[in-house]
Amino acid sequence: MPPQRLRNNATSAQKLVQYTLRVFTGSGRGSGLSEPSSGVQVVLIGDHGQASLQYIPRVDVDSTVAFVGSRFDSGNVDDVRLLAPDIGNIASIWIAPESGTWLLEEVAVSGDDAPAVRFPCGRVLGDREPAAALTPSTAVESTPEERQKRTQDGMAEYAALKRSILAFNTGFVVAGGAATTATLGLAYGEAFFTGGVIGLAYMRLLANQVDSMAPTDASPTSLLGPLLTAPARFALVAGMGYLAMQNTVASVLTSEPGVADTVVDNRLLLLLGVTGFFMYKLSVVCASIAAPSTEN
């Protein structure tokens, strides 16, 4: 739609710039502007006190197409381009319906080269509150390219963090298993190592769950969907732990002649297995500490 010059207070000597207003009307029943013939009055106020009064009609007539649309209906997002004096950065907005009531969610305003700045409202205007004076939100609307770049940077950082966690986890499990074997014996080292391997598998399932949330067209982990829920992960870990403990005890009893007469400390085996399992949590902490700072 071409820019509109509607009740503009600019003079011919003033420099004109184009401001784009994106107006969000509430989506609930009765949120739209109640008077069909009513428009909206807007005052743009610059950061140095300059102001520009604008009037936006209800009917949106685009001369380039054979279409007449109604603005400010329930659930509408209306883009309006206005020519106005160059008043600098928009510091605040005064906005009011000409008549009737209207639930305004927010207005986003952008200049020729400036990004959009959001002015939240979220209330009904025109009845108990004839007009609203809006101040900008601290959040600045970013472009799709900026959002895509932030997503890509975040995914790259996440991938590096996953590799770091895996390296820490593998190192802790191998080192812990070797140390336990050297100090307590092979059976106890196997218990620690087995718990660590289960922890690695559990960590992989957690990572798969996070990966499945990524906005990709085809997730390589989609076949693991039933295993990504918390109850399924708990059942898997419990079952693997039980089978691993039974296998460890059996290997102790059959590894050497006469070992069956030796008392096996099952509680210590269990403790070491649990300790090996929770190496994945220690790995997360260490990887987070070791991650490079993103602060400038």
The domain locations on the chain are 16-134, 146-290
Nearest to 249 by CA among 191, 205, 189, 169: 191
With beta carbons less than 8 A apart as the criterion, state whether 36 and 97 touch. no
- pLDDT, averaged per 10 consecutive residues of the chain (296 residues), comes to 42 72 90 89 85 86 54 91 84 90 92 82 88 77 66 74 87 92 86 86 72 47 47 59 57 50 66 86 82 51
| In the block, residue with structure tokens 């605040």 | 92
Nearest to 25 by CA among 149, 124, 167: 124
Can you give the pLDDT at residue 108? Answer: 92
| C-alpha to C-alpha distance for 53 and 77, rounded to whole angstroms | 21
| C-alpha to C-alpha distance for 63 and 49, rounded to whole angstroms | 34
CATH 1.10.606.20 fits 16-134, yes or no: no
To which H or E segment does residue 105 belong?
strand 102-110
| C-alpha to C-alpha distance for 212 and 204, rounded to whole angstroms | 12
**DSSP category for residue 141:** P
Single-letter amino acid, residue 157 = E
CB-count burial class (<10 Å; 0-12, 13-18, 19+) for 256:
exposed
Can you give the pLDDT at residue 260? Answer: 45
Can you give the pLDDT at residue 251? Answer: 56
With beta carbons less than 8 A apart as the criterion, state whether 200 and 173 touch. yes
Can you give the pLDDT at residue 171? Answer: 93
| C-alpha to C-alpha distance for 254 and 241, rounded to whole angstroms | 20
| C-alpha to C-alpha distance for 115 and 93, rounded to whole angstroms | 16
